[in-house]
Amino acid sequence: MDTRSARIETRVSAEQKELIERAAAYLGRTVSEFVLGNVEQAARDVIAEHERIKLDRRQSQVLVKSLLSPAAPNDALRDAARRHRKQVESR
């Protein structure tokens, strides 16, 4: 069963179309295969860049220190935990 059912359309200039067709031909791919492969990889790269957490050296040290020696919970955190236990059913 073919899972491709969604469609994306775009307008391009004649020069862009020729460029894309030429590049696809060099790779022995159809224009659709060429466009889809490159657009999909570009989308993955953008998502990875925006969903990755980047820390500088100082931020990394603060994070590691916090993970290895967490601060004791304050009143606000204890209150939040109590509210959570009341509102959320655990199984």
Residue 6 located in a structural domain: no
**pLDDT (mean) for 55-59:** 96
Could you tell me where the beta strands, DSSP code E, fall in the chain?
none
pTM of the shown model = 0.56
Number of domains in the chain: 1
Residue 75 located in a structural domain: yes
- Whole-angstrom distance, CA of residue 29 vs CA of residue 22: 10
User: Do 81 and 73 form a contact (C-beta atoms < 8 A)?
Assistant: yes
Residue 32 located in a structural domain: yes
Residue 81's contacts (CB-CB under 8 Å, 6 or more residues apart) are 73
Query: In which domain, by residue range, is 82 found?
Result: 11-91
Residue 69 located in a structural domain: yes
Residue 76 located in a structural domain: yes
> Treating both helix axes as pointing N-terminal to C-terminal, what angle do 14-27 and 31-51 enclose, rounded to 10 degrees?
100
What is the band of 89 on the pLDDT scale with cuts at 50, 70, 90? confident
Residue 5 located in a structural domain: no
Residue 4 located in a structural domain: no
Residue 1 located in a structural domain: no
